[in-house]
Amino acid sequence: MGLSQVQIIRSLAEALQWFEKELSWGAEVAELRHLTGRIGELYTAMITRGQMAVAVNQVG
């Protein structure tokens, strides 16, 4: 079962908060690829009303 739209939005907010914290602590953006990737996936899922992938590195 996938995340609901509300869960996706909450997860996106949490990921953005972590991103901002890491930046304020002096982390380089290049070192935050795990967060930027997750933020992009959550944002896309939110905008398209889709779901997060259930497995990594899926074709397509």
pLDDT digits (tens, 9 = 90+) for 3-59: 888 999 999 999 999 999 999 999 999 999 999 999 998 999 899 888 776 676 767
pTM of the complete model: 0.79
Q: What is the band of 1 on the pLDDT scale with cuts at 50, 70, 90?
A: low
Please give the sequence-ordered ranges of beta strands (E in DSSP) within the chain, or none if there are none: none
- Cβ–Cβ < 8 Å for 45, 37: no
What's residue 51's pLDDT?
Answer: 74
